[in-house]
Amino acid sequence: MQEKILIVDDEPRVIDILKPFLEGEKYSVVTAATGTEALRVAATAKPDLILLDWMLPEMSGLDVCREIRKSSNVAIIMLTARTDETDRVIGLELGADDYVVKPFNLREVLARIRSVLRRMNPQPNESELLERGEITIDEASFRVYKRNEEIILTPAEFQILVTLANRPGVVYSRLQLLKAIMGEAYMYYERTIDSHISHLRKKIEDDPSNPVHIQTVHGVGYRFGYSK
């Protein structure tokens, strides 16, 4: 089944370059030119991944990302001409899974798309059902359950949880977690992990201010804890 990509950009030139290229790589492609149109198309087309421009008419890409994250874990890659590192961190903290800086190389965009989609769709031989107390993680279907109720996580949140839950009690530094979910290119964005952890706790902890599962080891990092 073809994976579907939604390209959101108000520059026709960007659409004209990306759309035929990605279709040539066997992806199904839909497009939108404004923030409000992006929300409408995302709701109806159900894309597997969104390439989302930062600067859009009507509402910004960040606002679109924030709105989508209220109800969906669809993969989001930000497209931005902004080169300030703080801006990029903001995008990741709001729920984007990756970013590509304009002007971009088409092969780099393709590599980022494949990497994010691969994180969302692990191969069967890499997957197993992880049962950690009241938390169940189905890596094959990218699903997480707490007391049999499904919890919707973003790709980054899912990978953090899987990394920690695979080795309960082992402490991971921010850098180790970031490298595990995003690779070497993100080694300078360690603090984005804190935001992902905060969002993850709100979803899986009974009391996020007193976490049982995602525990902080002050001055070191994070670990997964649970009662058998």
Euclidean distance between CA atoms 83 and 104, whole angstroms: 12
Average pLDDT over residues 92-105: 82
Q: What is the pLDDT of residue 127?
A: 52
Looking at the DSSP assignment, which residues form a beta bridge with residue 18?
A: none
What's the pLDDT tens digit per position in 17-59?
999 999 999 999 999 999 999 999 999 999 999 999 999 988 9
Pick the closest to residue 118 from 25, 49, 18, 21 (CA basis): 49
Average pLDDT over residues 138-162: 87
Euclidean distance between CA atoms 122 and 167, whole angstroms: 18
Domains of the chain (ranges; CATH) run 4-120 (3.40.50.2300), 124-224 (1.10.10.10)
| pLDDT band of 84, cuts 50, 70, 90 | low
Q: What is the pLDDT of residue 187?
A: 47
More confident call, 100 vs 171? 171
Q: What is the pLDDT of residue 46?
A: 95
HSE at residue 135, side-chain half, CA atoms within 13 A, is: 27
Does pTM top 0.85 for this prediction? no
pLDDT at 121 over 60: yes
Q: Provide the token pair at 34.
A: 């404004």
What's the pLDDT tens digit per position in 177-224?
887 776 655 544 666 788 889 989 999 999 999 999 999 999 899 999
Does residue 29 contact residue 50 with C-beta atoms inside 8 Å?
A: no
Q: What is the pLDDT of residue 60?
A: 92
Which element (helix H / strand E) includes 136? strand 135-138
Average pLDDT over residues 90-109: 83
